[in-house]
Amino acid sequence: MKRVYREHCIVFLAFLLLAVFMTLPVVLHMNSNIAGSGGDPWQTMWRFEEKAASGISGFLTDIFGLGEARLANLSVWPWMPIHLLFGQPLAYNIIWILHFALAGYAMALLIKTLTNQASILRSAPLLAGLLYMFMPFHVAHSLGHFGAMQLQWIPFIAVAAISFFRNPRVFSAVVLGLLLTVQAWTEHHYIVWIALFGIIVGVVYRKELRNRFSHPLQLPLEKGERTSTPPLFKGRLGGVLVSLIVLFIILIIGVIFPFIPTIRLAFTNSDALELGTVQTIRFSADLFSYVVPPSYHPIWGSVSHGLFGKFFTGNEAESVQYLGISALLAILFFHKHIPVKQKRLWILTTLFFGIMSLGPVLHVFGNITSIPLPYALIDELPVFSAIRVIARAGVMVSFATSVLFGWVIATNSIRPRASYIIALVILLESLFIPFPMQSAKLSPVYEAVQDISWSNIIEIPAATNYTAASRALYAMRRHGKEILGNIALERGQDEDANSLVKSTPSIRQLLYLRTTDLAENRKEFFNQDLLETLPDAMKYLDTHAIIIHTDSLSDLQLKSVTTFLEEKSVFTKKSFDDAVLYTLDTSRKYDTDGIFMIRGQGWTGVGYDPKKESVFAEIPREARMKFVNMNEYSVSIELHFDLAPESQGTLEVQKIFTVAPGEFEIVLTHSGEGKSIIMNPSFSVTVPFDAAQGKSADL
């Protein structure tokens, strides 16, 4: 027994050393850099910090599915002890290294179990584990997709399931249930694939299962007894039932309960989970992505990407499905001795999930054809309609290919020297040196922001740049301010989550980098002056500071934003190496009428005609406007606009009204055929005589 444990430790350490070798630059900078690229690693580190801060109450809220309807994300909880011990970014990098080694070990353990190898140190488990841990699909998602990169749980679950069905005990039920729970928390889409894979197993082994279940459960044989019919289960019926009950309870508590908020969200009117056919098609795998090497390969990656990969739809990480030519050739030419049922199971798994990953219509070298595929039949069904990236079904193709490769090695005589050569070929095809990484150092601007008393800040370009937004989200744990319009958590949010920020004049132009509007100080909708409106809008949104990340903007964007903010001396400016901080100066006064308008729902076709120098907007039925009075006194407002000649029907609206301090909403109502089209809208403000002397607003 000790020898067996020692062998398993040796295998895991061997895979760990290989992972360290392949990712050496990351290992050498684990305290200062983050493995991967883009915003996803930052967002994962933020989630660690956020969940850790929520403590035991947050953990219990998550596992029992309490709180409001939302998209549940539990991916960091299984790894929380490492975060609490080491902190970030070290904890993230440790987990990142471990997930490679665990994937290799898990596949080695599965191949040993399936092929009845005498030792896990044999060629078949080791080579299959090596192939699986460095599969391009795995490496591509290791750029930052924290849940999707954790491929290790799938073979672990397969091993646990085999153990449970061979000998259903409470212990094996607990292990299987916990592994399924961890998989559901880490990447819930993979649970869907595992369930579908279970159906495939049932179809392939239906005769064996039927024959087994046709025999009654048998008690353990007494010493010396023999039977020609192998029992379905070892152990007594009571023990089997208890094991099944334990497994069922764990799955209810571990898999169903935590996702109750997501289930509730699915039954609301929110479309946060409905991604639409356009995104599904965009993030579907290409037919040739399984044979085109990824762009990150240091030898031929740039060539293959330049010829083929750059045409694939979706982003670069999601389009990687390469299986390895050497593994495919080995399976193609040396599959003869694989047991028929096993060969049928894994080939069917490869075909089923490969076709599923292609999405609703066929992609060929980036060309989206009109040829429908089977997934189109289920795309709109519950669960499947919420799958963000159907190309990730390719994980099961990588999984099945690795198992078939393991079977090939196990069923063919492979000499030690040949095993070394095969290992070198796998490593050569799997190279990803140097792996991308980014600095984990936060800008010193956040230390200055920490002392600001107001609740919110504006970060540019956090509303348009995902990496900057995710980094800002992580930094939020340091300074404690909310970031207006941050897109980092857009997935799973209601589409109206940032509607107020998006429609507030001047704020919107800044956040979404309307450089032409800013550079020309173009009048906003209803002729509102952007410079005059900005301080009032910031006060309204409880915002005191604007951070400009100079390292994330183009020269044009940076010049447009800074010129706009510095045109009037209402801000104090502080420069850093990678950022500029503009803070509202409350000691200064700014000439403003204290009134601005926010366009509400119901407006369509809003635009600007540069030839006619005219603003226009359409009102099909009802359109809402909210006036905000930041003064301490009431003002009178009068609306002005022209109806375009092509307008139809009638438009009812109150044109003169009084707005007390605070907010006041009016409704423009169209009746009759067609729609109303207004041109050159504006409004005028009349300040009461007794307040006219104090018209300049004190910030």
In one-letter notation, the amino acid at residue 62 is D
CB burial of residue 626 (10 Å; 0-12, 13-18, 19+): middle
Per-residue model confidence as pLDDT tens digits over 597-617: 999 899 998 887 777 778 889
Per-residue model confidence as pLDDT tens digits over 157-180: 999 999 998 888 899 999 999 999
Residues 75/146, Cβ–Cβ less than 8 Å: yes
Beta bridge partners of 698: 589
Q: How far are the Cα atoms of 502, 526, 614 from residue 609, in angstroms, in the given order?
A: 21, 14, 5
- Show Cβ contacts of residue 11 under 8 Å, excluding neighbours closer than 6 positions: 105, 108, 120, 121, 125, 126, 129
Per-residue model confidence as pLDDT tens digits over 173-201: 999 999 999 999 999 999 999 999 999 99
Q: What are phi and psi of 394, to 5 degrees?
A: -65, -15
Res. 553 pLDDT band, cuts 50 70 90 = very high
697, pLDDT greater than 60: no
442, pLDDT greater than 80: yes
- Show Cβ contacts of residue 609 under 8 Å, excluding neighbours closer than 6 positions: 615, 616
Task: Give the Cα separation of 29 and 95 in Å (integer).
Answer: 14
Q: What are phi and psi of 122, to 5 degrees?
A: -70, 165
Once rounded to an integer, what is the mean pLDDT over residues 497-517? 85
- Show Cβ contacts of residue 608 under 8 Å, excluding neighbours closer than 6 positions: 522, 614, 615, 616
What pLDDT shows up at residue 119? Answer: 92
* Of 495, 484, 490, the residue nearest 460 (C-alpha): 484
593, pLDDT greater than 90: no
Range in 247-261, 282-296, 310-324, 481-495 with the lowest mean pLDDT:
481-495
Per-residue model confidence as pLDDT tens digits over 117-162: 989 999 999 999 999 999 999 999 999 999 999 999 999 999 999 9
What pLDDT shows up at residue 491? Answer: 56
Q: Identify the residue with better confidence: 207 or 56.
A: 56
Q: Identify the residue with better confidence: 209 or 577.
A: 577
What pLDDT shows up at residue 696? Answer: 42
Task: Give the Cα separation of 177 and 247 in Å (integer).
Answer: 5
Per-residue model confidence as pLDDT tens digits over 331-342: 999 999 999 999
Integer-rounded Cα Rg, in Å, for the chain is 31
* Of 310, 305, 319, the residue nearest 136 (C-alpha): 319
Query: 595-698 — its CATH code?
Result: 2.60.40
- Which DSSP string corresponds to 177-208? HHHHHHHHHH-HHHHHHHHHHHHHHHHHTHHH
217, pLDDT greater than 50: no
Query: H helices within 35-75, ranges in order?
Result: 40-63
684, pLDDT greater than 70: yes
Task: Give the Cα separation of 391 and 26 in Å (integer).
Answer: 28
Q: Which two tokens stand for residue 370?
A: 């009109």
Decide the pairing of beta strands 482-483 and 456-460: parallel
What pLDDT shows up at residue 690? Answer: 63
Torsion of CA 529, 535, 538, 539, to 10 degrees: -130
Once rounded to an integer, what is the mean pLDDT over residues 376-399? 91
What pLDDT shows up at residue 36? Answer: 94
Q: What are phi and psi of 584, to 5 degrees?
A: -60, 130
